Amino acid sequence: MTADDLSYLTISEAAAGLRRKEFSPLELTQACLARIEAINGKLHSFITLTVELALRQAEQAEEELRSGNDRGPLHGIPIALKDLYMTKGIRTTCHSAVLEHWIPDHDATAVAKLQEAGTILLGKLGMHEFAFGGPSVDAPFPAVRNPWNTAHIPGGSSSGSGAALAAGLCYGALGSDTGGSIRTPSSHCGIVGIKPTYGRVSRRGVVPLSWSLDHAGPMARSVEDCAILLQAIAGYDPKDAASANVTVPDFRAGLKDGIKGLRVGVPRANWFNENKGTDPETEAVFDNALNTLESLGAVIVEIDGKPFSIARKANQTILVCEAYAYHEKTLQATPMKFGSSVRRRMLEGAFLSAADYITAQRVRSVLNEQIRANFSRVDVFASPSAPRPPEAFQGMDPNEQNLRPNFTNPFNLTGLPAISVPCGFTPGNLPAGLQIVAQPFEEATCFRVAYAYEQATEWHKRRPPI
């Protein structure tokens, strides 16, 4: 096995190899660190490397596995964290000058759970500043670049997570998603990411952007790997006010059950053509993905996209109000410490009224009901994960995203679980993602559909030319 092959193993393959003693946790860690050393300068996906910790954890995992103390499929697997997950004793910057030197005194709940599962922490990943705005061009750390073409954005806000996974720099990562920040970089980087149901994964210790829209979740190179990671971080946390006290099922149990007879709702009308519409190449890739789902036995049902289309406005209003409320003191005291993109977006919240915010939350109630009503006719929704391929940095228009349909926002607003799985490439050889959305706490259905699609295609096996 070449060093590149080792770096591109999935978590499930690496876990099996560790137990067959084909390689050790230390060798996996060293392979990642060597690749980071060689490539990170082109991608800027890591802000902080935790080399000594990683090597120490690798040695510990090796010893534990040798002595039969097996903590499960993540034991000895090197991972990385979006730099808004608090890590005890390790700098957590949110990619911002505001927190450039901040060292938290406790771990986020999800981080603690990954540690208990025996993972190895390689470091903290770049992102859009405070998970908002666009690529951070005037932050203290460079903007993350797309491994498929470094002249293009990797999507955000979990940009480092998407880029690092696509480039084979880690085996799994955590992202966060307030309006699409797991699914968009997953789509743009050709990897898998799931935004779980609101309340499924604790947000404690994840620096907030918008309390009522924030979701923590995993990103990886395969559907099964995402299921493994979600299994480790899901569960009730009394220290998170939004945490749901619901049973966590075995997310891998039904992976291979197939999708025969599954009704897939496509909210195309009144949504896909909103404003400038969906990029035709992206829509063609999506339609091919629907054909594959159909060939696997799914039934495609066209549904009205109007409520999905409206969701963006409510999502954005709630988001800027909550983000401004969280950052108000810093924006009053030292506004220029924020990068221009995130500063201007957050400041919009200062000029909206309490009634504007509550109106958006009332619209959220209405749309939640309208969107969920579709589940009487269909089992899941499907859409492209992003309306167009990743833009080039040069000439990027920050307003462009408001002129295209936003396929991810509605599921932050409704809290429904949504996964992005690679579904092809546009003619510019840039990846595209298929989004599958299920009913609340039905992440297993997202995984089952995405897995069936993934196994019927080869997209997830491609590697970027970095």
Partner 1 sequence: MAGELTLEDLSKMAARAGLKLAEDELQKLLPGVNRALRQAEELRQLIADGTEPASTFSALKVE
Judged by CB under 8 A, which stretch of 21-29, 60-68, 266-274, 353-361 contacts partner 1?
A: 353-361
Judged by CB under 8 A, which stretch of 49-57, 62-70, 144-152, 234-242 contacts partner 1?
A: 234-242
CB of 365 to partner 1, least distance (A): 5
Residues annotated as part of the active site: 82, 157, 181
Judged by CB under 8 A, which stretch of 117-125, 262-270, 309-317, 418-426 contacts partner 1?
A: 309-317
- Residues 227 and 222: their CA atoms lie apart, in Å, by 9
- Residues 30 and 20: their CA atoms lie apart, in Å, by 19
Residue 109 binds to partner 1 (criterion: CB under 8 A): no
Residue 351 binds to partner 1 (criterion: CB under 8 A): yes
The 10 Å CB-count burial string (b at 16+, else e) for 173-201 is: bbbbbbbbbbbbbbbbbbbbbbbbbbbbb
Residue 239 binds to partner 1 (criterion: CB under 8 A): yes
Number of residues that bind partner 1 (CB under 8 A): 34
Q: What are the DSSP calls for 384-403, one per residue?
A: ESSSSPPPBSTT--TTGGGG
Neighbours of 67 (CB within 10 A): 8
Report the residue number, 232 or 318, with the smaller CB distance to partner 1. Answer: 318
Bridge partners (DSSP) of residue 176 are 216
Pick from 7, 87, 368, 385 the residue near partner 1 by CB under 8 A: 368
Residue 344 binds to partner 1 (criterion: CB under 8 A): yes
As to burial, measured by CB atoms within 10 angstroms (0-12 exposed, 13-18 middle, 19+ buried), residue 315 is buried
Residue 314 binds to partner 1 (criterion: CB under 8 A): yes
CA angle 173, 176, 181 (to 5 degrees): 105
CB of 362 to partner 1, least distance (A): 5
- Residues 239 and 124: their CA atoms lie apart, in Å, by 23
Q: Are 148 and 166 in contact (CB under 8 A)?
A: yes
The Cα-based distances of 371 to 27, 33, 226, 286, 462 in angstroms read 48, 45, 26, 21, 35
Report the residue number, 331 or 444, with the smaller CB distance to partner 1. Answer: 331
CB of 394 to partner 1, least distance (A): 21
CB of 350 to partner 1, least distance (A): 5
CB of 305 to partner 1, least distance (A): 15
Q: Which residues make up the interface to partner 1 (CB under 8 A)? A: 212, 238-239, 241, 310, 313-314, 316-317, 320, 331-332, 335, 340, 344-345, 347-348, 350-353, 356, 358-366, 368, 402
